[in-house]
Chains A and B, each alone.
Chain A
Amino acid sequence: MSDHIAKLAPVGEPLLSVRSLSVEFGRGEGAFRAVKNISFDVQPGKTLAVVGESGSGKSVTSLAIMRLTDYTGGRITTGEVIFRPSKGETLDLVTAPDNRLRAIRGNDIAMIFQEPMTSLNPVFTIGNQIAETLTLHEGLNARDALSRAKALLQKVRLPDAATLLDRYPHQLSGGMRQRVMIAMALACNPKLLIADEPTTALDVTIQAQILNIIRDLQQEMGTAVIFITHDMGVVAEMADDVVVMWKGEKVEEAPVRQIFAAPEHPYTRALLSAVPRLGSMTGQPLPKRTPVMVIEDGAPKQIGDTHIQDTADYTRPPILEVEKLTTRFDVGKTFFGRVTHKVHAVEEVSFEIFPGETLALVGESGSGKSTIGRTLQQLIEPTSGTVRFNGRDMGSMNPADRRKLKQEIQYIFQDPFASLDPRHTIGFSIAEPIVVHSLLDDRKAIDRRVQELLEQVGLLPQHAKRYPHEFSGGQRQRVCIARALASNPKLIIADESVSALDVSIQAQIVNLLMELQQQKQLSYLFITHDMAVVEKISHRVAVMYLGQIVEIGTRQAVFENPQHSYTRKLLAAVPIADPARERAKRLIEGEIPSAVRAVGQEPLVHRIREVEPGHWVAIEAEALRGAA
């Protein structure tokens, strides 16, 4: 690889140098400096990771390099971005004329964005869109461009490239779309690839595949990569050098191993301490709450305490028992309204949750984990199966009891902003469960209760009068937790409730949930795709795949002794925040199969066996036969 670099540029001469770059949005008094005096170098053929949480200015930096901030209302106020392509003269992108920039964008510098669906034009075929870049920059004719497009699709390991050329974006899965985006970005052999959170929206196993592809192609083509991400695990896997950004400023820059081994800036230390690390709980039977380091007035501070979460009470009967729960949705109907296909979202799933226990339901998109949560919350009607809450069958309850159940089971959604009504104050939203279940009827008593709840989740009583948009993401999730607690529930279903949050906020919310569990003897059904968070919070884990639980057992058993191949695959796919760890050459291939089936073609329900007490695993040979 080193001689590769020598070919591209004189040794030591960076491909891209950013010097005291500042970007401002708005004008006059309302001007907001999103990026302040950033400087860094990108070496040819190397990967520079720009890490930061939301609002750190990392995305704005990447847009500013391409001068795309011009189109989003931003202005580069100071600094220069020196680009040194191997042939052609050195160029300052900040002052370059528009026509030069257009020639560089997509040609010498290419970009991949987070959301592959929105970056692809829905009305053109995949082939047309890749070919467009080629005809534009390389002057190829339509036929040659299409054959190059096909070669590119093969390069990103998309099977059946020829037929894919004629497909439209919506016909592809998220992972496939992101590969198409990579193929488009690499179409003109760029010197520099800017990848802005390219795997954040993808499932872990798909993320692992995409990261492998980017890494391999980078070595093959000698492309330098700027990798924008918030995920320290991805940084550890991908980066050569790391720039840490915080509130628009660069706080630290170092080679990747040094950042992880000896972080200097307090913010970097806080960030790294908040990252949940898979394997950190090995040998511990119970989940453990640990303090979180936060930055307060520029100085690091530990908040919270260490506590072993011994809240689960297995001597009492389970609070929730789910038996052979099946939920299917109709899709595809004939002209006469006969259903031809169904989504088999959940197939004969059984589990129970004990008082004070956290059961994690893990799986990738389409595994049916959210459907289970929503079925339990009566947002979806189950097709068959029984659900017993405190020993009473939900199916045979009268409407009044079912309503009462909505008081005892609460649901926290993934996106706190979307789940709060923008037109009401958060005080109104938190009071709503109290009002609809007539728990208190005096206005003053309700207000007092709302204030008490706000304090319980670490907010101030006077926040009650504010609207959701006036809070940060983490605060909003606290509001949602306060709302869930308002009706004194016994069970809380947390559906990806910490997945959208920054890691430092995530760690605090996880601690809050654990603290509340201890105080109120709450049970949680913790639905997530994030294995590292699961390891931290849960007493027991159920792994879901295609609507069925393939493995269930104590957290220790599932993580330290995974029996099902899918569980192992899932665990292997998680990026580990440790660059010193030997990168296992992982062989994760293939898409997640679809759960849509024609009527009459029922999936085979796995039989399960107990490998050790309380640890059940689906028998795989049968599953394979069922799939065939």
Chain B
Amino acid sequence: MAAAEGARGTRWQFTSMELVAGLVLTGTMTLAVLFSPILFPDGGESMDLTARLIPPFQSSAHLLGTDPLGRDVLARVVVGGKISLMVGVLSVIGAVILGTLVGLIAGYYRGIAEILLMRFADIQLALPFILIAIMFLAILGTGIDKVIFFMIVAQWVQYARLVRGSVLALRDREFILSARAIGVGNVRIIAQHILPNVLGPIVILMTLNVANNILLESSLTFFGLGVDPLIPSWGGMLADGRTYLQSAWWVSVFPGLAIMFTVLGLNLLGDWLRDSLDPTGQTGQ
């Protein structure tokens, strides 16, 4: 018993470190983005061709340097976070809700619902992503709401498959059977007994997908299918800075770091969330 107590003690300390670090990283990013209109009223768009490609830490006016059009990199990183975070977080939340719902229904009720839903999901998975993106956004037109909507449509399948798989394993577990034996109804079984037990893997997939979607937004923008390329976003800045990587690394490295720290923060928060959701304190089952 002593071993378990000791292990739990260190475990708790470690998870709370995860929480603090995760909160600091994501909190800083979120606050900066929220206050960006006050910090950078110009929205990072004012150009100054006389101050092109200033390296970082050399000018007090441009702490992180400037890009080829003389725009302040710091301002653009902070302002660009708005689009990136919105796309990354909202698309994932939407996909999780839709996918989890479908996965729960398909996995729990089985039968015809499962066959229809999961075959539909398989068909969608078989279609090439970029092709649908082009068709989809060509029909709907571009814009941040469409990009988010498209990502939800493209990604719910992952969650549906993950959740369905977990539910299939769970529904035959004895504690579900014993809930049924007591007279617990289906809706309550799903909400109270199945959902809490599938949350762990969902949270992990979520945090990974946020990073993915921030980058995806930039690819879509690159193809002219995303947000207006003039509005700064991290993905867009990465793409822009690519050509200058040898001469002016800071143009792409700082938005890259912004993505990295955000994702790191979210992953830490995700790990903490998964651990705190599991009362046994065992991770990675």
Contact = CB atoms under 8 A, between A and B. Distances in A.
A29 B183 contact: no
B192 interface: yes
Given A30-B3, A32-B3, A413-B174, A487 B182 contact: yes
B179 A379 contact: no
Contact of A25 (B3, B10, B183): B3
Among B174, B182, B192: residue with most chain A CB under 10 A: B182
Given A26-B6, A29-B6, A419-B174, A437 B183 contact: yes
Nearest to A415: B174
Nearest to B277: A423
B175 A419 contact: yes
Contacts of A422: 175, 197, 278-280
A469 B3 contact: no
Interface in B156-207: 173-175, 177-185, 188, 192-193, 196-197
Nearest to A483: B182
A423 B179 contact: no
Interface stretch (A111-119, A280-288, A404-412): A404-412
A406 B7 contact: no
Nearest to B7: A30
A31 interface: yes
Contact of B173 (A418, A425, A480): A418
A413 B174 CA distance: 8
A26 B7 contact: yes
B2 interface: yes
Interface string B1-14: 11101110010000
B127 to A, nearest CB: 30
B182 A469 contact: no
A436 interface: yes
A324 B21 CA distance: 65
A433 interface: yes
Contact of B178 (A419, A424, A467): A419
Contacts of B277: 423
A423 B184 contact: no
Nearest to A373: B181
Contact of B2 (A32, A415, A424): A32
Nearest to B193: A421
Contact of B175 (A403, A420, A469): A420
Given A26-B6, A30-B7, A432 B184 contact: yes
Interface in A17-41: 25-26, 28-32
A377 B192 contact: no
Contacts of A377: 181
B192 to A, nearest CB: 7
B182 A436 contact: yes
B174 to A, nearest CB: 4
B175 A418 contact: yes
A469 B279 contact: yes
A379 B6 contact: no
Given A26-B3, A26-B6, A419 B177 contact: yes
A77 to B, nearest CB: 14
B273 to A, nearest CB: 14
B181 A410 contact: yes
A403 B197 contact: no
A72 to B, nearest CB: 13
A356 B190 CA distance: 36
A423 B279 contact: yes
Contact of B6 (A30, A403, A433, A487): A30
Given A25-B3, A422-B197, A432 B179 contact: yes
Interface in A39-85: none
A156 to B, nearest CB: 33
A433 B179 CA distance: 8
A383 B121 CA distance: 36
Contacts of A469: 279-280
Given A423-B196, A423-B278, A407 B183 contact: yes
Contacts of B3: 25-26, 30-32
Given A419-B175, A436-B188, A410 B6 contact: no
A420 B181 CA distance: 12
A403 B177 CA distance: 15
Nearest to B2: A32
B179 A421 contact: yes
A424 B188 CA distance: 14
A74 B174 CA distance: 31
A406 B181 contact: yes
A407 B174 CA distance: 18
A379 B181 CA distance: 7
A443 to B, nearest CB: 16
Given A30-B6, A421-B175, A421-B193, A403 B278 contact: no
B192 A424 contact: yes
Contact of A467 (B7, B181, B193, B279): B279
Contacts of B188: 436
Given A26-B3, A433-B182, 4 more contacts: A30-B6, A379-B177, A419-B174, A421-B179
11 contacts: A30-B2, A30-B10, A32-B2, A379-B180, A410-B182, A413-B177, A418-B174, A421-B193, A421-B196, A467-B279, A487-B183
Interface of A: 25-26, 28-32, 377, 379, 403, 406-407, 410-411, 413, 415, 418-425, 432-433, 436-437, 467, 469, 480, 483, 487
Interface of B: 1-3, 5-7, 10, 173-175, 177-185, 188, 192-193, 196-197, 277-280
CB-CB nearest 6 A-B residue pairs: A30-B6, A406-B183, A32-B3, A418-B174, A411-B181, A419-B178
